[in-house]
Amino acid sequence: MTIGIEIAYLIASVLFIIGIKYLGKTKDARRGNVISAVGMVIAIAATLFTLEVLTLLEIGIAILVGSAIGLYYAQKVAMTKIPEMVALFNGFGGLASFAVALSDYYFKRDTDLALLDAINLTSIIVSVLIGAVTFTGSMVAFLKLDGKVSGQPITFKGQHLLNLLLLIVFFAASVLVFLDPSQGYYILILVVISLVLGILTVIPIGGADMPVVISLLNSYSGMAACATGFILSNNVLIVAGSLVGASGIILTQIMCKAMNRSLVNVLLGGFGQTVAAGGADGPAVVVKEIGVEETAMLFDSASSVIVVPGYGMAVAQAQHVIRELMEQCEKRNINFRFAIHPVAGRMPGHMNVLLAEANISYDKLIEMDDINEDFSNTDLVFVVGANDVVNPAARTNPQSPIFGMPILNADKARTVIVSKRSMGKGYAGVENELFGYPNCLMLFGDAKQTITKVVSEMKDMA
Amino acid sequence: MSISALIVLIYVLVLASYLGFELISKVPPTLHTPLMSGSNAISGITIVGALIASNELGYSTLSKWLGLVALVLATINVVGGYVVTDRMLKMFKKK
């Protein structure tokens, strides 16, 4: 019987790995997700076989409630809100893991204290720490993304000292747990400190850095599952947890590189405060405006167009009308592509999902490194709702806070049109030099409305 | 737990992490959002631990309640994670 369950767990682990392997190709990805889900069903079914029949009712109810909530949320959520959902789910994963760790601790304490050996206690403590930090950290990230808490970094004097102090107390309480595992209070101290640490680690991080934070918390939620696997000596938890942990770390690195920031620098927080001062003493940028008709004419006469989309495009819900613009251009045999910066959107790959939702073929979405050479041979670049990712100051101005960040070389194109609501600053609060360049024209107004007008102008021309 | 049993678990951890790094670095940036929501679902594997923890008879123990809470949350992750990932991947089309 038990050997059967072990084999089922092994099959589940293999299916998770194959599922992720299939995510390597866009056309196979959906199948990969199904394979991974089958692995999960097998792992759950095998575990159900080990359970007491008497407990199946309450377990059934819990699964039903969880499934209903999960299903409802997954079908309702808007694609712009996926970062919030991922943040929330990271938190749930963390909370579930440390609840299991606590449950196991109390179970062993009340049945057989000898089961709480050094290895087991260490696993429980690690699981509580990572799980609880993931939980509260993710909740703060969720509230920041959702706008319920200000995206501004929250810093105060002695913040790092307080964190250090809490870690010392955590360590001391861990020693107490080892000395007397029968005392449930010590574990509770660990829980409370970990929960507070989770909040303290995320509040100093600004809204612009949230893609890094949710990637990192994604990784933590995997590590928490992994730690729980050590408590239960369960290989499938360790394999699945490691895969998620590795995934989160890779995404974190990619995000940091795309913003030219080190992870330590992001975690210490406070980005955006020094920046505001640096931007103020720059010379005022003089810009040239362009109207809807002229914009339509420029599109009409171009032979190659690259669109640089940013989160502002999604906020204005302009992606669908951009697809219409694409259709107009393709009718005229204009080479029409999108340049996707790694931090476009609010989480890794977010922009691709938003454009895919608007029915734009994914082979039109080109990564930064693959398209940056092409800007200099492009007639027209259309920047919609993006700002910092096309600011040439990142290449040219060592004084700029975003200096060194890899950017899309939109300024190298023959003409650049920037669709913008007003002359506001980007997420980083930096003045954009591009707007003052001689080849740059500003198309002011709501992106959706102005582009709709451009499209109808183009239809009239045809 | 014996040291040798621990070593086996560490083997699994190290090899699975290495495999994870290899596979995930090949996932194209286009799919990074579905990758994250999909890994939300996979980290719902804690559901296995939650099931074991919920398996106690009677409602008097703290262990059981913690297990049931974990079970609801892990199920949300599993079901919500896979469904939303599928919803996204369905939209990626090539024309």
Checking if the pLDDT of A36 tops 70, the result is: yes
For range A61-68, the mean pLDDT = 97
Partner-chain contact A243 B36, CB within 8 Å: no
- Could you say which of 3.40.30.10, 3.40.640.10, 3.40.50.1220, 3.10.180.10 is the CATH number of the domain covering A281-461? 3.40.50.1220
Closest residue of A to B29, CA-based? A349
Tell me the Ramachandran region of residue A417: left when phi exceeds 0, alpha when psi lies from -120 to 50, beta otherwise. beta
Percent of chain B with pLDDT over 70: 98
- Give the start-to-end residue ranges of the domains of chain A: 1-76, 81-268, 281-461
Question: How confident is residue A271, by pLDDT bands cut at 50, 70 and 90?
Answer: low
Can you give the pLDDT at residue A278? 41
List the Cα angle A183/A185/A186 in 5-degree steps: 80
The residue ranking higher by pLDDT, B57 or A441, is: A441
Can you give the pLDDT at residue A425? 64
Displacement of CA A328 from its chain's centroid (Å)? 33
Which of A48, A70, A245 comes nearest B75 by C-beta? Answer: A70
Amino acid found at B57: L
Checking if the pLDDT of A276 tops 60, the result is: no
Please give the mean pLDDT across all residues of chain B.
93
Partner-chain contact A242 B17, CB within 8 Å: yes
The residue ranking higher by pLDDT, A147 or A359, is: A359
What the block records as the tokens of A336 is 């029409």
Checking if the pLDDT of A155 tops 90, the result is: no
Residue that has been written with the tokens 């994870």 in this structure: B20
Question: How confident is residue A370, by pLDDT bands cut at 50, 70 and 90?
Answer: very high
Tens digits of residue pLDDT in A13-30: 999 999 999 999 999 999
Checking if the pLDDT of A65 tops 90, the result is: yes
Q: Is the dihedral of CA B29, A341, A91, A224 positive or negative?
A: positive
Residue B60 to chain A, least CA–CA distance (Å): 12
From A145-159, A302-316, A383-397, A417-431, the region with the lowest mean pLDDT? A417-431
Please give the mean pLDDT across all residues of chain A.
91
Please indicate whether residue A388 is annotated as part of the active site: yes
Q: Measured between CB atoms, does B7 come within 8 Å of chain A?
A: no
Can you give the pLDDT at residue A280? 45
Tell me the Ramachandran region of residue A386: left when phi exceeds 0, alpha when psi lies from -120 to 50, beta otherwise. beta
Partner-chain contact A50 B77, CB within 8 Å: no
Can you give the pLDDT at residue A449? 94
Q: Measured between CB atoms, does A2 come within 8 Å of chain B?
A: no
For range A290-301, the mean pLDDT = 93
Q: Measured between CB atoms, does B66 come within 8 Å of chain A?
A: yes
Task: Report which DSSP code applies to B45.
Answer: T
Set of chain A residues whose Cβ sits within 8 Å of the Cβ of B74: 66, 92-93, 96
Can you give the pLDDT at residue A266? 83
> Which of A2, A96, A5 has its CA nearest to residue A42?
A5
Longest dimension (CA), chain A: 83
- Give the start-to-end residue ranges of the domains of chain B: 29-91
Pairing of β A380-384 and β A365-367: unpaired
Tens digits of residue pLDDT in A199-216: 999 999 887 788 899 999
Tens digits of residue pLDDT in A249-259: 999 999 999 98
Q: Give me the helix-helix angle, B3-24 and A235-258, nearest 10°.
A: 40
What the block records as the tokens of A249 is 């770390």
Checking if the pLDDT of A323 tops 80, the result is: yes
Partner-chain contact A33 B13, CB within 8 Å: no
Question: How confident is residue A88, by pLDDT bands cut at 50, 70 and 90?
Answer: very high
Whole-model pTM: value is 0.92
Residue A20 to chain B, least CA–CA distance (Å): 7
Residues 6+ apart with CB under 8 A from A346: A83, A145, A210, A211, A311
Can you give the pLDDT at residue A428? 62
Count of Cβ atoms closer than 10 Å to residue A331 Cβ: 11
From A64-68, A274-278, A351-355, the region with the lowest mean pLDDT? A274-278
3-class secondary-structure state, position B55: coil
Question: How confident is residue A427, by pLDDT bands cut at 50, 70 and 90?
Answer: low
Residue A246 to chain B, least CA–CA distance (Å): 5
Partner-chain contact A102 B73, CB within 8 Å: no
Closest residue of B to A117, CA-based? B1
Q: Measured between CB atoms, does A217 come within 8 Å of chain B?
A: no
- Reduce the secondary structure of chain A to three states and give it as a string: CHHHHHHHHHHHHHHHHHHHHHCCCCCCHHHHHHHHHHHHHHHHHHHHHCCCHHHHHHHHHHHHHHHHHHHHHHHHCCHHHHHHHHHHHHHHHHHHHHHHHHHHHHHHHHHCHHHCCHHHHHHHHHHHHHHHHHHHHHHHHHHHHCCCCCCCCCCCCCHHHHHHHHHHHHHHHHHHHHHCCCCHHHHHHHHHHHHHHHHHHHCCCCHHHHHHHHHHHHHHHHHHHHHHHHHHCCHHHHHHHHHHHHHHHHHHHHHHHHCCCCHHHHHHCCCCHHHHHHHHCCCCCCCCECCHHHHHHHHHHCCEEEEEECHHHHHCCCHHHHHHHHHHHHHCCCEEEEEECCCCCCCCCHHHHHHHHCCCCHHHEEEHHHHHHHHHHCCEEEEECCCHHHCCHHHHCCCCCCCCCCCCCHHHCCEEEEEECCCCCCCCCCCCHHHHCCCEEEEECCHHHHHHHHHHHHHHHC
The whole-angstrom separation of Cα A75 and Cα B84 is: 7
Question: How confident is residue A274, by pLDDT bands cut at 50, 70 and 90?
Answer: very low
Checking if the pLDDT of B78 tops 60, the result is: yes
Residues 6+ apart with CB under 8 A from A179: none
Question: How confident is residue A112, by pLDDT bands cut at 50, 70 and 90?
Answer: confident
Residue that has been written with the tokens 């200096």 in this structure: A403
Partner-chain contact B40 A50, CB within 8 Å: no
Task: Report which DSSP code applies to B59.
Answer: S
Set of chain A residues whose Cβ sits within 8 Å of the Cβ of B69: 95-96, 99
Q: Which residues pair with A306 in a beta bridge?
A: A337, A381
Choice among A388, A411, A446, A460 that is catalytic = A388
Amino acid found at A193: I
What the block records as the tokens of A334 is 């204009």
Closest residue of B to A342, CA-based? B29
